[in-house]
Amino acid sequence: MTTNKNTSNETKFRGLRRFNLIMGFLHLLQGVFMWIVSNDTVYPIFTNYLSFDTSTFSLNPVAKLFYELPLGPSVAIFLLLSAIAHFYLASAGYENYINNLKQGKNPVRFYEYALSSSLMIVLIGMLAGVWDLGAIILMFGLNAMMNLLGLLMESLNQDRKKLDWSPFTFGSIAGIIPWLVIFIYFFGSIASGGEAKPPAFVYAIIPTLFVFFNTFAVNMWLQYKKIGPWKDYLYGERAFIVLSLVAKTVLAWMIFAGTLAPV
């Protein structure tokens, strides 16, 4: 019986190797396409400094252009980061990947998410009007911390009968804050009236990606609650891989269709 189970697991592991390889190519092809074909749209990043107004004897904020972020390469990068991670897991990192999966964890997943999904949240924020350097750094950092707390959740709960949910809880709190900022800017732009509203495609991106981002947390919750097919950690691993591809693909092509497609 044990031999059959081990054989079944080995088959699943080999399947995951092929799966990661396929996903790597899907991310790579999209990333290269976005980098090469996208137009030269840029989004501004500003810093705000205090300036003393001698006429009113008061301090006033002054915005200064810090950098113009090329949107096409930025979209390509979060796709290419995933491609690199998948290729690594399917090649040089495969043995370590399998050893970690047997322990119910995948650190590479969370390191990659800490970079790729944090870039994604920054781009979504910029589409909603979050153009301040400080806000962008904080959004990136909080989202990265959310993913690192996901890694901590897996590391702390190895073979524990009573789970420690604190990393999951704190990670959820950290992860929701960038979305609160996005919604404040998004609804603020709408409420202000006039022509300073987000482009039409942003109305679709924000709710869609909000759902996708939260689905990752649901997948982890189901893994640790061992509900239905999630009793098998490898089922949740495949779900993470599929969710990552779908979320990145949806965001990339929505942005491409909305603003990056060549005229």
Cβ-based neighbours of 80, under 8 Å, separated by 6 or more: 27, 28, 31, 32, 35
How many Cβ atoms sit within 10 Å of the Cβ of residue 238? Answer: 15
Residues 81-107 as b/e (b if ≥16 CB within 10 A, e otherwise) read: bbbbbbbbbbeeebeebbebbeebbbe
Residue 110: pLDDT over 80: yes
Mean pLDDT to the nearest integer, 59-82: 95
User: Over the chain, what is the mean pLDDT?
Assistant: 93
Which structural domains are found in the chain, ordered by start?
Answer: 16-260 (1.20.1070.10)
The amino acid present at 40, given as its one-letter code, is D
Mean pLDDT to the nearest integer, 243-248: 98
| Tens-place pLDDT, residues 72-83 | 999 999 999 999
Query: In the prediction, which pLDDT does 171 show?
Result: 98
Picking from 247, 125, 110, the residue whose alpha carbon sits closest to that of residue 168 is 110
Return the minimum-mean-pLDDT range out of 122-131, 133-142, 254-263: 254-263
CA separation for the pair 232, 25 (Å, rounded): 26
Residue 8: pLDDT over 60: yes
CA separation for the pair 220, 226 (Å, rounded): 10
Estimate to the nearest angstrom the gap between the alpha carbon of 74 and the chain centroid.
13
Classified as helix, coil or strand, 165 is coil
Mean pLDDT to the nearest integer, 153-178: 95
Mean pLDDT to the nearest integer, 124-128: 96
Could you tell me which residues are beta bridge partners of residue 56?
none
The amino acid present at 69, given as its one-letter code, is L
Residue 4: pLDDT over 70: no
The amino acid present at 75, given as its one-letter code, is V
How many Cβ atoms sit within 10 Å of the Cβ of residue 80? Answer: 19
Estimate to the nearest angstrom the gap between the alpha carbon of 184 and the chain centroid.
20
pLDDT confidence tier of residue 192, bands split at 50, 70 and 90: confident
pLDDT confidence tier of residue 53, bands split at 50, 70 and 90: confident
Residues in the chain: 263
- Give the chain's end-to-end CA distance (angstroms, integer): 62
